[in-house]
Chains A and B, each alone.
Chain A
Amino acid sequence: MDPREELWAAAMRAERRGDAAAYEGLLADIAKTLRALIRGRLSRLGMNAHETEDILQDVLIGLHTVRHSWDANRPFLPWLHAIVRYKLSDAVRRRRREARYRYDLTLEEWSYVPAATHEDPDLGLVDLNRHLGELSAGQREVVRSLALEGASVRETAQKLKTSEGAVRVTLHRALQRLASIANLAASRRSKEKT
């Protein structure tokens, strides 16, 4: 039998007793295994390998959210496999769908095209919306709830049916992504000027 079965099942049981260290070790172990796996799949699908950590985090959060559904009397690896398989295909599917929306030319943008050639209006607001559009659906919801609607982390977690930790992590990732987008846009603009 796979030696991980015993090891990981024991760590899952430790989690239920509130052993954060054992649980952290378990998640780190699983992350290490999944990282290599996800990277390989992404390159095979022709998707960017830098999405690896994003998807890995999606899987881990999913796992964390439903961890109570594992029956401690049953083997752990089949349970883990079912969850990981679902969350992976879900993450890939969602990214594909979002990519399609992102490249879709809306009627609004279309009618905006000729005007843009004549003048250079303040694109700030348009940029803000577009940048929010770069986030994944989950990240966008969290940012909207926390930053635009002013809800608390707890309220947001309840509304999105996830844990407070997951909300914090999602916000953290969203901010990082926004920052990297802003940097990119700024450097592009300065390049255009020179």
Chain B
Amino acid sequence: MSSADTNLMIRSLAREAGMKPSRPVVSFDTALLLGAALSFASAVMLVFATFGIPDPAAILGSAAFHHKISSMLTVACGGVFLVRYAGRPGARGLALLTVLPGLALLIAGAISDTSGFPFLGRSEISVPSCIAAIVALSLLPLVITLFVLKRGVTTRPAVAGATAGVLAGALGAAAYSLVCKNNGGLFVAVWYPTAVLIVVGLGSIIGRRALAW
């Protein structure tokens, strides 16, 4: 293989200058926002289908619910920026800071927790069932987000998969908070992120292969 070959190849590639991309018209950013909305909707539907539709008055009156869903949705917003960062080559790493507000909310919730709810939840199976539910609810969002990422260009597939896990996990957790009965701030601050981290690991493992090109 000589450099003359490479020059030949360059010439034949150059002939395709100006050709429009064969991809559909929806941009990566649009696809990302649509994907996130679809992910959240799917997770909420799944929550309603498995746990039944909760009484709106009861959950809206619960301060703990507001804390849970707002902190997880804030993490998810950061996740959108993370995924956007992962899908655009050469983007600046400043986006990584966008998960901090959500984390701050979780920590604030843990510190100001005066509910007296136990750290391990109200029953023995609280922790495993909460984690399993959040991970299960995040699977479809994870798949959707990985598909969105395939429309971008990922130059670190494992990292990109992990960012998809942040978004999907946070959306799954936000949906789960609609039916979660464990209202302790510490419980939420520890076990919700644990479940999200499992989804992050999952996303990173899948992304390594699925997002390579």
Contact = CB atoms under 8 A, between A and B. Distances in A.
A163 B6 contact: no
Given A50-B1, A66-B153, A173-B1, A79 B89 contact: yes
Contact of B155 (A22, A68, A82): A82
A152 interface: no
Interface stretch (A27-35, A98-106, A113-121, A123-131): A27-35
B25 to A, nearest CB: 12
A173 B1 CA distance: 8
Nearest to B14: A24
A52 to B, nearest CB: 8
B94 interface: no
A82 B90 contact: yes
A106 to B, nearest CB: 23
Q: Is the interface of B mostly helix, strand, loop or mixed?
A: loop
Interface stretch (A12-20, A142-150, A181-189): A12-20
Interface of B: 1-3, 5-21, 23, 28, 88-92, 152-156, 212-213
Q: Find the residue from A16, A75, A86, A176 having the highest chain B CB count within 10 A.
A: A86
30 contacts: A20-B17, A20-B18, A21-B14, A24-B14, A27-B13, A28-B10, A31-B3, A53-B1, A53-B5, A56-B6, A57-B5, A60-B10, A60-B13, A61-B13, A62-B213, A66-B153, A68-B23, A69-B153, A78-B90, A79-B89, A81-B90, A83-B153, A86-B155, A86-B156, A163-B13, A163-B16, A165-B16, A168-B12, A172-B9, A173-B9
A166 B13 contact: yes
A108 interface: no
